[in-house]
Structure 1
Amino acid sequence: MLRFDPFHDIDTVARQLLGEATGSARAPRFMPMDLFKTGDHYVLNADLPGVDPHSVEVSVDNGTLTLRAQRTAPSEEGVQWIASERFAGTYMRQLSLGENVDVDKISATYNNGVLSVTIPIAARAKPRRIEITGESQPKKIKAQSS
């Protein structure tokens, strides 16, 4: 008798989308992040616990923001693993930026395992009030019959 598991295929696809490499339970899956807007800028916070700060890279190229980091695994020599759930390897996340951000003023910090990227909104994209000019006294218009 064959058993039908409708969730098996969904689970397999989900694992592939999250980056789990076949045969490697220690490969990085994803870089969880929060993205929000506050005032005149966006803030992106990405969790990267245990990552060497010197391996963290933030770059912008052709409207794409790329976050990259590396966590090295401890030496495997002479080790008998009991549990191995912490991921090692390269983490990467890419986001498309809109035209309304100031890419020249993007800044980043890395503290306590959290990468924070500040993405300012460009001055041209900020709402502004348009001053209306004209005569101080309205003109009277006379209607003409034809």
Structure 2
Amino acid sequence: MALTFDPFREMDRMAARLLTSGGTQRSASWMPMDLYRVDEHYVVHVDLPGVDPGSIDLDVDATTLTIQAERTLGAAEGAHWLAQERPAGRFTRQLSLGSDLDLDAIHASYEHGVLTLTIPVAERSKPRKIAVEHAGSDRALAQGGTSTQEAQDAVEVGSDA
């Protein structure tokens, strides 16, 4: 078996481990995500391959959504690593959510290594029609069941006489 050694790649990997909270919590770069809006909700897809679904933890604090997951490597005890390129450990990503979202109705599912979050838009933020009331129409209907136009016609006819 031929092995290649790239000292620059090894130095990059070591620097990344040292710069990420002592190597225990990894950056969001390992949790790539897609975010888009469909109708009245947002959809977030986060790639978490090899993560145990029981280790996924979602928290909402005010308008911050925190995603945490843990991935362990399944190597036999006493294994001598020849290459270890798949990251392992506890990973964290935070998203700032707007106040126009319904944070109590977030739905999460995990399938085929992808965490999917559906975040609905709050009812108060959805576009809506506002009815315009006509002051004369309500009074005219209450006075005898005639419409506003009929009441205006009656006034005009009465003034000619």
State the TM-score, normalizing by the size of structure 2: 0.67
- Partner residue, 1:36: 36
> Are the counterparts in 1 of residues 25 and 92 from structure 2 also a CA contact under 8 Å?
no
User: Residue 21 of structure 1: SS of its match in structure 2?
Assistant: helix
Aligned-CA RMSD value: 2.8
1:102-113 alignment to 2 at 5 Å? Answer: 102-113=102-113
> Are the counterparts in 2 of residues 26 and 87 from structure 1 also a CA contact under 8 Å?
no
* Closer/same/farther in 2, CA of residues 27 and 104 from structure 1, 3 Å limit: closer
| Max Rg structure | 2
- Partner residue, 1:87: 87
Structure whose residues are more often helix by fraction:
2
User: Residue 69 of structure 2: SS of its match in structure 1?
Assistant: strand
Gaps of 5+ in 1: 1-11, 140-146
Find the aligned partners of 1:59 and 1:27 in 2 and give their Cα distance: 16
- Partner residue, 2:7: none
TM-aligned CA deviation for residue 27 of structure 1: 7.5
- Partner residue, 1:21: 17
Which 10-residue stretch deviates more, 70-79 or 83-92? 70-79
Gaps of 5+ in 2: 1-11, 138-147, 153-161
Residue by residue over 1:87-114, the C-alpha shift from the partner in whole angstroms, topping out at 9 and shown as x without a partner, is: 0001111011111001110110000100
Residue by residue over 1:85-144, the C-alpha shift from the partner in whole angstroms, topping out at 9 and shown as x without a partner, is: 1000011110111110011101100001000011010000000011112145588xxxxx
- Partner residue, 1:122: 122
Find the aligned partners of 1:88 and 1:46 in 2 and give their Cα distance: 16
User: Residue 17 of structure 2: SS of its match in structure 1?
Assistant: coil
> Are the counterparts in 2 of residues 100 and 121 from structure 1 also a CA contact under 8 Å?
yes
2:42 maps to a residue whose letter is: Y
Residue by residue over 1:61-96, the C-alpha shift from the partner in whole angstroms, topping out at 9 and shown as x without a partner, is: 111001110001234632122221100001111011
Find the aligned partners of 2:33 and 2:101 in 1 and give their Cα distance: 19
User: Residue 22 of structure 1: SS of its match in structure 2?
Assistant: helix
Identity rate of aligned residues, in percent? 46
1:98 maps to a residue whose letter is: G
- Partner residue, 1:3: none
- Partner residue, 1:6: none
User: Residue 85 of structure 2: SS of its match in structure 1?
Assistant: coil
**Residue 53 in structure 1 maps to residue 53 in structure 2:** yes
Aligned length: 123
- Structure with the larger RCO, 1 or 2 (CA within 8 Å, 6+ apart): 1
